[in-house]
């Protein structure tokens, strides 16, 4: 390459890596693997070393990847949050050990810590109290997410024991796979696109402005780096594993003190196998010099500490032929492209299909039928296409043209401006969508008709017996006379299941309807606020958003659903069938202690949820409002309450009410309400 080509190459690599940094740290939506990123970074480092005259001032080799959101207050770090250098092989790790020993001498102890795939966080404690939590950001400044972090149960708000009066401790916020799977199940049931992986959800959760929503996320934390102006301890291991642990801070149990690099390698080999049994994702091991004196002696480069390095586990991948691309239609009409592959063995299973996610991903990969493609298991579970071996591409192949019409019903697809997926809008006539709605309607958490599974739902649709969910209540034994494998008992079980579902309460019927964005929790809130389907049908966006935690997106989806004549006709048929389209009697008033008083609820509470607080207020004669106004009598203030509501309450002179004051105001009626609520729950 000539000089101009080298300059352009350095410039292009710099911009590409900056873009990927932004996707990873700010958007929490990485599109390449860590290995791919590090390969590009090393190429840039090499070019910059050879041609320093072309190095750009904002090169990612000189800065920590990331950026700041504009949703939280940006605060400068008291000490820069640096990245770590990465290695993928034992030879480079031995080179690291040799560099360390040249500076410090032969006897070097290391501490090995599992590198959890999450979001870096820095916590500040003063006199035993957690006072601030800040994200990595760009390494120099980060976002103040204190209120959100305080909702994480494993974060210690008050220390105990002989703790230091003032210190900073850093760690990782992450999500266990079970919690991630539960969240995705809720999103799918709501008709939303599932999240890609636990790391993205953990990172995205800290950027949510609604503290109550963050509290619902099953986040966890592990802490691994203590920082203080005058360190009273000699080693990193003692500072974390002995002292920080004794103060009540959550630190990792898997950390190990190693006497030399051979013991470090043994730890790596052990956890390369055991990591698959963990409840969370880990992509490597962090190796740190144990002596704090040696750490200080080794110092830092412009970007990384010289006394630590991250060893990354290799993600197993496979190379196979892309036979073609098929398109699946989901219950909500979302179109998912799927790579049809020549079968290949990967991490214990034979992979024949892999996700391509959406049209943008196909274009980014430039993947074409006939290509040799790389396959990995995302989170080592879900197969996905990660790249193309362009050297093996046959000449003359054409880029993929994404489908314009539904592969099932032929309806022209739509793509909303702010969404990555294409949708088939023919929700009441597209076969997979109709069958999906039937499956959702009969699900356990909805109408709980266990006698109708996925196969039976398909058969009922294909036989023309059920084309909308209200048709289920028109089924008769004679409809199944000639069905193979359907004996008298099977027929009776199916019809009995349908019959029993007529007693399912209104909030579950509402969830079963499959209105986009209306999951179990939202359905309960809407049922409690509007009491019956007629009132809900008449509600506009403004009335719906007045219900706590119901946003514009949900409100517009509800209004749109009820506006469709086919849906109103179906509701009429469900009403005629005797379904519960009105909230059952229960939750009757227990006192008039709060008569004439209007409350606004904000924050998180330890002894009741926000819904339970609302129920207590209403059953004692009070009213709840979604926003503070001159008509508000009390702002019931929990942990992490919204600052805007607090400011408005102070401006208007609205009295703040603590959790304890609220329960004292109710007196005995609080416990009576709780008993009534418990008995009501048992009935459902």
Closest CA to 474 of 571, 575, 577, 581: 577
Active site residues: 115
Q: DSSP secondary-structure letter at 65?
A: S
Burial of 381 (0-12, 13-18, 19+ CB in 10 A): exposed
Whole-number Å distance between alpha carbons of 126 and 113: 26
Whole-number Å distance between alpha carbons of 486 and 68: 61
Q: What are phi and psi of 129, to 5 degrees?
A: -105, 140
Provide the Cα torsion 137, 142, 146, 148; round to 10°: -30
Residues 6+ apart with CB under 8 A from 188: 194
Q: What residues form DSSP beta bridges with 172?
A: 120, 222
Closest CA to 111 of 333, 243, 291: 291
Alpha helix (H) ranges present in 27-136? 34-50, 90-104
Closest CA to 25 of 144, 139, 137, 141: 137
Query: Quick check: 423 and 413 in contact, CB under 8 A?
Result: yes
Kindly state the greatest CA–CA separation across the chain.
88
What totals of helices (H) and strands (E) does the chain contain, helices first?
Answer: 25, 20
Burial of 490 (0-12, 13-18, 19+ CB in 10 A): middle
Per-residue b/e over 66-99, b at no fewer than 16 CB within 10 Å? Answer: bbbbeebebbebeeebbbbbbbbeeeebeebbee
């Amino acid at each position: 390459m000539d000089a101009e080509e080298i300059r352009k190459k350095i410039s292009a690599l710099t911009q590409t890596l900056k873009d990927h940094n932004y996707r990873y740290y700010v958007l929490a939506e990485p599109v390449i693997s860590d290995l791919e990123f590090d390969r590009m970074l090393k190429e840039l480092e090499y070019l910059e070393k050879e041609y320093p005259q072309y190095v750009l001032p904002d090169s990612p080799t000189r800065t920590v990847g990331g950026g700041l959101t504009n949703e939280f207050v940006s605060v400068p770090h008291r000490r820069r949050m640096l990245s770590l250098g990465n290695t993928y092989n034992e030879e480079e790790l031995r080179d690291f050990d040799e560099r360390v020993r040249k500076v410090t001498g032969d006897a070097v102890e290391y501490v090995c810590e599992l590198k959890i795939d999450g979001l870096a966080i820095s916590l500040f404690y003063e006199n035993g109290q957690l006072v601030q939590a800040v994200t990595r950001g760009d390494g120099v400044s980060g976002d103040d997410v204190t209120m959100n972090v305080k909702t994480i149960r494993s974060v210690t708000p008050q220390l105990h024991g002989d703790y230091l009066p003032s210190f900073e401790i850093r760690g990782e916020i992450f999500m266990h796979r079970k919690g991630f799977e539960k969240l995705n199940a809720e999103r799918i049931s709501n008709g939303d696109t599932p999240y890609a992986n636990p790391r993205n959800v953990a990172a995205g959760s800290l950027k949510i402005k609604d503290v109550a929503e963050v509290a619902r996320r099953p986040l966890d934390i592990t802490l691994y780096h203590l920082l203080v102006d005058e360190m009273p301890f000699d080693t990193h291991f003692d500072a974390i594993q002995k002292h920080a642990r004794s103060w009540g801070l959550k630190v990792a149990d898997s950390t190990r003190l190693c006497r030399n690099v051979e013991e470090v390698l043994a730890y790596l080999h052990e956890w390369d196998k055991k990591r698959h049994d963990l409840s969370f994702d880990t992509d490597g091991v962090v190796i740190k010099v144990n002596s704090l004196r040696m750490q200080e002696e080794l110092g830092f480069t412009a970007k990384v500490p010289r006394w630590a390095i991250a060893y990354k586990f290799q993600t197993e991948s496979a190379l196979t032929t892309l036979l073609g691309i098929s398109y699946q239609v989901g219950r909500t009409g979302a179109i998912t492209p799927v790579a049809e592959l020549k079968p290949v063995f990967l991490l214990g299973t034979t992979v024949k299909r892999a996700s391509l996610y959406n049209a943008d991903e196909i274009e980014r990969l430039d993947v074409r039928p006939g290509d040799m493609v790389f396959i990995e298991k995302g989170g080592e579970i879900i197969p996905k296409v990660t790249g193309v071996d362009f050297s093996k591409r046959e000449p003359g192949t054409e880029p993929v043209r994404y489908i314009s019409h539904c592969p099932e019903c032929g309806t022209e697809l739509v793509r909303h401006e702010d969404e990555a997926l294409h949708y088939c809008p023919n929700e009441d006539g597209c076969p997979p969508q109709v069958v999906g709605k039937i499956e959702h309607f009969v699900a356990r958490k909805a109408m709980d008709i266990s006698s109708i599974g996925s196969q039976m739902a398909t058969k009922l649709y294909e036989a023309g017996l059920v084309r909308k969910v209200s048709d289920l209540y028109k089924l008769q034994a004679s409809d199944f006379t000639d069905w193979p494998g359907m004996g008298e008992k099977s027929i009776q079980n199916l019809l009995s299941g349908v019959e029993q579902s007529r007693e399912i309460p209104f909030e579950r019927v509402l969830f079963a309807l499959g209105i986009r964005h209306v999951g179990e929790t939202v359905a309960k809130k809407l049922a409690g606020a509007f009491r019956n389907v007629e009132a809900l049908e008449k509600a506009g966006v403004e009335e719906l958003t007045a219900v706590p935690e119901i946003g514009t997106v949900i409100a517009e989806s509800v209004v749109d659903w009820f506006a469709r004549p086919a849906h109103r006709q179906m509701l009429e048929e469900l009403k005629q069938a005797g379904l519960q389209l009105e909230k059952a009697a229960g939750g009757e008033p227990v006192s008039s202690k709060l008569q004439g008083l209007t409350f606004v609820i904000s924050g998180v509470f330890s002894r009741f949820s926000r819904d339970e607080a609302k129920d207590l207020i209403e059953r004692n004669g009070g009213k709840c409002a979604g926003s503070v106004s001159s008509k508000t009598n009390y702002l019931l203030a929990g942990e992490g309450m919204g600052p805007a509501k607090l400011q408005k309450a102070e401006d208007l002179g609205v009295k703040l009410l603590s959790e304890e004051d609220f329960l004292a105001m109710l007196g005995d009626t609080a416990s009576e309400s709780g008993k009534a609520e418990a008995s009501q729950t048992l009935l459902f």
